[in-house]
Amino acid sequence: MKILVAVKRVVDYNVKVRPKSDNTGVDLANVKMSLNPFCEIAVEEAVRLKEKGVATEIVAVTVGATQSQEQLRSALAIGADRAILIESDDVMEPLAIAKCLKAVCDSESPDLILMGKQAIDGDNNQTGQMLAALAGYSQATFASEIAVDAGKAQVTREVDGGLQTLSVSLPAIVTADLRLNEPRYASLPNIMKAKKKQLDVMTAADLGVDTSPRVTMLGVELPAERQAGIKVEDVAQLVDKLKNEAKVIS
């Protein structure tokens, strides 16, 4: 079984971003970039499926600028076998990325496509579902458990009410939630090995995909700042403040 894992280069989760001074966008100059945490979980799951003997090949793919090769190398160091970069310097929206990935699915014919449920920059939570629509595949989003058996995958999903389990026919798109697994740290030998693994570069134009944006970013602003309040001395004062000042309990 072949697994395609789609990943994204994003601002590191520890960075608190700020708008640019002219408020036209987010200031990303000299900011630490990383593999999106949810994508890292998706790569780890693919590697575990290979270690269990379920998968035979793992192909990591990303759509982004040339520096995204760093994140593909991270995926290769965790255990992906080869990688594909669809290179573009433009802002790529989820629908455009999904169209690129659909073209990769057509040429690679994976049995399972794993990806993160959302990227922590745009917080869109769309690309997996859109790829599933374009490819006509089944989907299981927000996965916390995956079991593959006989042309199907049984996936447990984290939903608002608790957990839901679906059986999806393969090929399918499964998007990873936080508790699917805990990604390993890549070992130094594996990081060295990853540098020699195959990494192919192509463009959206090579794939015949129109990636022109549909949504224009008009500007960004900081959210309303919360004033830090006061420290209370003890529980009695806290209860008094909540009853008589904030009037939120009676």
Partner 1 sequence: MSILVIAEHDNSSLNVATLNSVTAAQAIGGNIDLLVAGDGCQGAAEQASKVAGVGKVLVADNAAYAHHLAENLAPLIAEVGAGYSHILATATTTAKNIMPRAAALMDVQAVSDISAVVSADTFKRPIYAGNVIATVQSSDAIKVLTVRGTAFDAAAAEGGSATIEAVASAQDTGLTSFVGEEVAESDRPELTAAEIVISGGRGMGNGENFDMLYSIADKLGAAVGASRAAVDAGFVPNDMQVGQTGKIVAPDLYVAVGISGAIQHLAGMKDSKVIVAINKDEEAPIFSVADYGLVADLFSALPEFESQL
- 119-178: which residues touch partner 1 (CB under 8 A)? 120-134, 137-142, 144, 154, 157-169, 172, 177-178
**CA–CA gap between residue 135 and residue 109 (Å, rounded):** 11
Closest distance to partner 1 from the beta carbon of 105 (Å): 14
Residue 121's alpha-carbon distances to 40, 84, 111, 167, 207, in angstroms, are: 15, 22, 28, 30, 26
Closest distance to partner 1 from the beta carbon of 194 (Å): 27
Binding to partner 1 (CB under 8 A) within 223-242 occurs at 223, 226, 228-232, 234-236, 238-239, 241-242
**CA–CA gap between residue 176 and residue 143 (Å, rounded):** 5
Q: Which stretch binds partner 1 (CB under 8 A): 48-56, 71-79, 80-88, 218-226?
A: 218-226
Take residue 201 and report the two structure tokens written for it: 């570069």
Please say which residue, 69 or 139, places its beta carbon nearer to partner 1. 139
Take residue 53 and report the two structure tokens written for it: 């003997």
Torsion angle, CA of 16/187/4/70, rounded to 10 degrees? 50
| Residue matched to tokens 């009037």 | 247
DSSP, residue by residue, 91-108: ---HHHHHHHHHHHHHHH
Closest distance to partner 1 from the beta carbon of 79 (Å): 23
Closest distance to partner 1 from the beta carbon of 85 (Å): 23
Closest distance to partner 1 from the beta carbon of 84 (Å): 21
Binding to partner 1 (CB under 8 A) within 97-116 occurs at 98
Take residue 76 and report the two structure tokens written for it: 């290769």
DSSP 150: T
Q: Which stretch binds partner 1 (CB under 8 A): 55-63, 65-73, 95-103, 193-201?
A: 95-103
Does residue 12 belong to the site contacting partner 1 (CB under 8 A)?
Answer: no
Does residue 205 belong to the site contacting partner 1 (CB under 8 A)?
Answer: no
Please say which residue, 82 or 241, places its beta carbon nearer to partner 1. 241
| Residue matched to tokens 């780890």 | 44
Does residue 17 belong to the site contacting partner 1 (CB under 8 A)?
Answer: yes
| Residue matched to tokens 């447990």 | 156
| Residue matched to tokens 């998007």 | 175
Does residue 202 belong to the site contacting partner 1 (CB under 8 A)?
Answer: no
Closest distance to partner 1 from the beta carbon of 41 (Å): 11
Does residue 56 belong to the site contacting partner 1 (CB under 8 A)?
Answer: no
Map residue 13 onto helix, strand or coil: coil
Closest distance to partner 1 from the beta carbon of 94 (Å): 7
